[in-house]
Amino acid sequence: MKQTFIQGTIILIIAGLVTRILGFINRIITAKILGAEGVGLYMMAFPSLLLIITLTQLGLPVAISKLIAEADIQNDTRKMKKVLVVSLCVTGTLSVLFTIALLTAAPFFAKYFLTDDRALYPLIAITPIIPIVAVSAVLRGYFQGRQNMKPTAISQVLEQTVRISLVAVCTKALLPYGLEYAAAGAMLSVVAGELVSLLYMMKCFKSNKPLKVRSQFLEALKESKNTFHNLMAIALPATGSRMIGSISLFFEPIIIAQSLALAGVATAAATAQYGELSGFVIPLLFLPTFITYSFSVTLVPAVSEAAANNNYAVIQNRLRQTLRTALLAGVFSSLFLYVFAELVMTVMYDAPHTAYYIKILAPFSIFLYLQGPLQAVLQGLNLARSAMINTLVGAVIKMAALFVLTSQPELGIKGAALAVAINMMLVTLLHLYVVSKTVGFIFEAGYCFLVILTALSSVIGTQIIINHFLEEQTTFIQTAAAALLSAGLYFILLFSAGIIKWNQLKKLVPKV
């Protein structure tokens, strides 16, 4: 069933919220069982997976979404079939090749690049996910192009539910054999979650499809030369930014591990520190991005359609809606995490010493929340090349900063956090400049100031209440009270200041 822009976004936001909550439960369980060092092994393998998935998908989800949206307007089911046939052939072939490549190169890569032989086992355990994610990406692109966000939303929730159900079983079963086997067990739970997600989307496609993909598959493939060129014309520029980001993440653990070694940090300690930064802190900072991701997914086809009609007023309106929502969620989140960093990290991971990572990154995380929607608009405007250049500039500077800062003994892993902060800010500002120049969008400084003032008042007010009335309570009660009180006060102030109005909220409720 096709949804409107707002309805589709709200569906993805709700699913994203549930998914992130389940994801954090999963991370807490994993951290309790594996500890920082085990999480470090787990996270060392993950960037390699992300790079290979990016190479396998080749930017096709965005291209599929755009072409399916165009075909849907014309009610051209033949064109839809050609798009799906070509996409499945490309991703299927690449997934097989890269799965074999990763299995072959894993021992050498773990030993000489990640500087920890134990990372081999998580690398091997994660490889079955590559072909699964390849097919999932094609189906997600199809549903998003038809502006039906429910299959994507439900599949995400299913994936996390399966992961939580299996992660404790898999890790505990393999923990007696060593920490590296337990980390591999955590990866196996990820594979199982993705498989269930794929099976669900295949069921949705079979029950609601307007076309039969397997029927005359080869004939459709032979007639799809133009479709292939159209897909690649969109996919290759669109994948540039993701490719650069994935390559950057791929080299990140390598550079950090080597730089920490130069700074005199032992291998086990370096693995633990990387696990704390990438496994504990970064996912926490990414929490509000489920909102901006939801808008970003729906922005690409919406902006593409508006751009085709030269309707820049619609593009400006969609972008304004998205950035305002990102600010509302992101500003509050960054301020809350900065002020209550010790409480949050103690309750979630029993690691209060990692709060200084949060204090370094939280002030810059607001740029991260704005980055996704801005990049989605650039893709919708066929400015993927500009987005790619901006991402490349940010990645090069980030890699240089990682090496220079992390290798300093007085900074160590703090230098890695600073490099991440630099990247967040730089790429977002570059995206904002290009979007503003193209569609005439002017950033609302007054609105930003009012949101920051409102969020700051709610968080500081909550801190005063906690310090005066709940100082003797347990850390868990203090943290729960801080979250509930600050969020409640924030919403009250938003309504009082007129930033949010009741009539706006009514429009967000999807009609059944």
**What integer is the mean pLDDT of 89-114?**
83
**What integer is the mean pLDDT of 190-216?**
80
Give the span between the Cα atoms of 500 and 512, in whole angstroms: 24
Buried b (16+ CB within 10 A) or exposed e, 326-351: bbbbbbbbbbbbbbbbbbbbbbbbeb
Instruction: Select the more confidently predicted residue: 510 or 333.
Output: 333
- All structural domains of the chain with their residue ranges: 5-443
Nearest to 406 by CA among 392, 416, 393: 416
* Average of per-residue pLDDT values in the chain: 82
pLDDT for position 27: 77
Nearest to 34 by CA among 191, 189, 174: 174
Cβ–Cβ under 8 Å, residues 238 and 189: no
Give the span between the Cα atoms of 157 and 229, in whole angstroms: 34
Give the span between the Cα atoms of 14 and 50, in whole angstroms: 25
Torsional sign, CA 190, 194, 199, 201: positive
Cβ–Cβ under 8 Å, residues 202 and 60: no
Single-letter residue type at 187: M
**What integer is the mean pLDDT of 233-241?**
71
pLDDT digits (tens, 9 = 90+) for 328-354: 888 999 999 999 999 999 988 888 888
pLDDT digits (tens, 9 = 90+) for 18-33: 877 887 787 788 888 8
